Amino acid sequence: MYKLVSCRGRHAVLKGQSCFRPSLTKFHLASGAVCQKSVFKNPPKEVLQMPLCNFKPEEYKGMSKEHMMDIRRQYCNPMTMKVTYYKKPVFLHQGYMQWLWDVDGKRYLDMFAGVATVSVGHCHPKVTAATEQQLKKLWHTTNIYVYPPLHEYCEKLASYLPDPLKVIYLTNSGSEANDLAMLMARLHTGNFDIITFRGSYHGGSPQALGLTSDGAYKYPIANGLGCTNTMCPDVFRGLWGGSHCRDSPVQTIRECSCAQDHCMANEQYIKQLKETFATSVPTRIAAFFGEPIQGVGGAVQYPKNYLKEAYKLVRERGGICISDEVQTGFGRTGSHFWGFQGHDVIPDMVTMAKGIGNGFPMGAVVTTPEIAASFAKGIHFNTFGGNPMACAVASSVLDTIKEDGMQQNSLHVGTYLMTELAKLRDIYEIIGDVRGKGLQIGVEMVTDKVNRDPLPPEAMSAIFEDIKDMGVLIGKGGLFGQTFRIKPPMCITMEDADFFLAVFNKSIYNYMEKR
């Protein structure tokens, strides 16, 4: 389980590309281990053909790029500049399905979907039509009145969830949903303490920041009191892991000596959770929050039975189990509509946002009738949550996912992407891990496969910029910014996947050549 395999130079064939046949030369790692480095005689092709698109964007006639940047620096909060992607920013103008165009008319394949948010595609015709129809009827009212879109949507969303998860409260964002879930959990249990994983991200509001366990998002102020982080059961970067741990088409490169149906890594991580119970929280707790696959954390996956055992331990201590489906929900993982279903568990509460509205601001908390009744002891009011526009958009999104077979497409294209990315992992020593399910994919970059040290930020940025310059947009994540995040709209095709793979391969090759 714990031993890491040595690096090996290999070759692989990508669809539509010539076979790479690297010669192998030995080099010494800082650890003293000997590895083999690939020196390619036949580099990737220089010209990469982007798949055709029959949509023609409008000509851009707005303000100049220079003027936009002046406004961004002068009038927008400095945080806006701090989170701006790329040294040479992308100035977006229009989008359609999996494609984006900048103000100069350059087309990009969107493999990040606005941080896993554009679930069915930019300006999807079905969603656009539903939005326009509702726009002509009623923009806004609140749930102090009874209006059809709210009730039609709640009934439809409930049909996608197993019993007893049938009571819905609509919000405007994932952070707000998680704030509300914390409140509900504490009211229902009468307990206060909440446990989350290290490396997790559950939002940026003052309360949700306590759930979030990533130093980059922390401020030197009190936030999220009563939240405790436990060790993340990361089978690639963590202390324990093997080659059969996770529910993914691709396993880690770590060797495994576990007997069949027995995961030693899972045992060790559960021991760590038990230690957290014994040392860091009272005997009775309010809740446990967990993403089925960590999103911002870098598509981190856990041992197959971890959540099932963790849920049991939490419930024994009076807590409820909350699944944060902000990035894993609505068919993105392919095999199931909800990420928790891949772990064979039923949580007591589910929070969701992002893909729920294909980019329209919306979130939700779904729970049981019993927990919802505890919340009704006081008054909670949300001005915009569940407004007619949001409900019409979200209802159309559910219909589109089903009618267009997007969950099945996520499984089909996502599995292909991961399988092919794993071949690149076996070629390049700086690709340490490929993981995920469906179109929730992470590629973790390392200095070498033995030590698994994160690839430095400047190296990540160089590859990141190169990918963008070749016409593909992806994301970054992980505690050290060492993981490329691939979470495209669920409408992408196999042809798109091949184009991305060719671009990604070329960008890694370019970096290795310069290094």
User: Residue 8: what pLDDT?
Assistant: 33
Helix crossing, 457-469 with 494-514: angle to 10°? 130
User: Residue 3: what pLDDT?
Assistant: 38
Dihedral through CA 26, CA 37, CA 481, CA 474, nearest 10?
180
Integer Cα distance of 347 and 333 in angstroms: 17
Dihedral through CA 118, CA 124, CA 130, CA 136, nearest 10?
100
User: Residue 222: what pLDDT?
Assistant: 87
User: Where is average pLDDT lowest: 40-44, 200-204, 260-264, 363-367?
Assistant: 40-44
Residue with more model confidence, 46 or 25: 46
Integer Cα distance of 192 and 372 in angstroms: 17
Rounded average pLDDT over 61-75: 97
Integer Cα distance of 497 and 412 in angstroms: 11
pLDDT in tens, 7-16: 333 333 333 3
**Side-chain-facing half-sphere of 96: CA atoms under 13 Å:** 10
The pLDDT > 90 percentage for the chain reads 88
For residue 46, name the pLDDT band (cuts at 50, 70, 90): low
Residues 6+ apart with CB under 8 A from 495: 51
Q: Is 281 exposed, middle or buried (0-12, 13-18, 19+ CB in 10 A)?
A: buried
For residue 192, name the pLDDT band (cuts at 50, 70, 90): very high
pLDDT in tens, 118-143: 999 999 999 999 999 999 999 999 99
Instruction: Tell me: pLDDT of 264 over 50.
Output: yes
User: Residue 125: what pLDDT?
Assistant: 98
Residue 288 — φ and ψ, nearest 5°?
-125, 125
Instruction: Tell me: pLDDT of 45 over 80.
Output: no
Helix crossing, 125-135 with 388-403: angle to 10°? 160
User: Residue 44: what pLDDT?
Assistant: 76
Instruction: Tell me: pLDDT of 28 over 90.
Output: no
Q: Rounded mean pLDDT of the chain?
A: 91
User: Residue 13: what pLDDT?
Assistant: 30
- Domains 65-111+406-514 and 125-404 equal at CATH topology level: no
Rounded average pLDDT over 319-324: 98
Integer Cα distance of 470 and 48 in angstroms: 8
Q: Among 445, 451, 466, which Cα is nearest to 513's?
A: 466
Instruction: Tell me: pLDDT of 24 over 50.
Output: no
Instruction: Tell me: pLDDT of 35 over 60.
Output: no
- Bridge-partner residues for 102, per DSSP? 92
**Side-chain-facing half-sphere of 219: CA atoms under 13 Å:** 10
Instruction: Tell me: pLDDT of 272 over 80.
Output: yes
Class of domain 125-404: alpha beta
For residue 513, name the pLDDT band (cuts at 50, 70, 90): very high
Residue 130 — φ and ψ, nearest 5°?
-65, -35
Residues 6+ apart with CB under 8 A from 301: 235, 245, 246, 247, 248, 293, 294, 435, 436, 437
What is the b/e burial string over 289-298, where b = at least 16 CB atoms within 10 angstroms of the residue's CB?
bbbbbbbbbb
Rounded average pLDDT over 301-325: 98
Integer Cα distance of 468 and 212 in angstroms: 29
Helix crossing, 406-427 with 388-403: angle to 10°? 70
Residue 154 — φ and ψ, nearest 5°?
-60, -40
Superfamily of domain 65-111+406-514: Aspartate Aminotransferase, domain 1 (3.90.1150.10)
Integer Cα distance of 409 and 427 in angstroms: 27
Rounded average pLDDT over 287-308: 97
Q: Which stretches does DSSP call E strand in 183-290?
A: 194-197, 227-230, 287-290
What is the b/e burial string over 478-492, where b = at least 16 CB atoms within 10 angstroms of the residue's CB?
bbbbbbbbbbbbbbb
- Its pTM stands at 0.91
For residue 503, name the pLDDT band (cuts at 50, 70, 90): very high
For residue 335, name the pLDDT band (cuts at 50, 70, 90): very high
Rounded average pLDDT over 382-396: 97
For residue 301, name the pLDDT band (cuts at 50, 70, 90): very high
pLDDT in tens, 367-385: 999 999 999 989 999 999 9
Instruction: Tell me: pLDDT of 6 over 90.
Output: no
Give the total residue count for the chain: 515
Instruction: Tell me: pLDDT of 250 over 80.
Output: yes
**What residue ranges do the domains of the chain occupy?**
65-111+406-514, 125-404
Integer Cα distance of 183 and 495 in angstroms: 46
Q: Helix or strand or coil: residue 495?
A: helix
- End-to-end CA, the chain: 32
pLDDT in tens, 406-417: 999 999 999 999
Question: Long-range CB contacts (< 8 A, 24+ apart) of 130-134?
Answer: 130/392, 130/393, 130/395, 130/396, 131/360, 131/389, 131/392, 131/393, 131/396, 133/392, 134/388, 134/389, 134/392, 134/393
| Tokens encoding 270 | 């559960």
For residue 202, name the pLDDT band (cuts at 50, 70, 90): very high
For residue 277, name the pLDDT band (cuts at 50, 70, 90): very high
User: Where is average pLDDT lowest: 35-44, 75-84, 103-112?
Assistant: 35-44
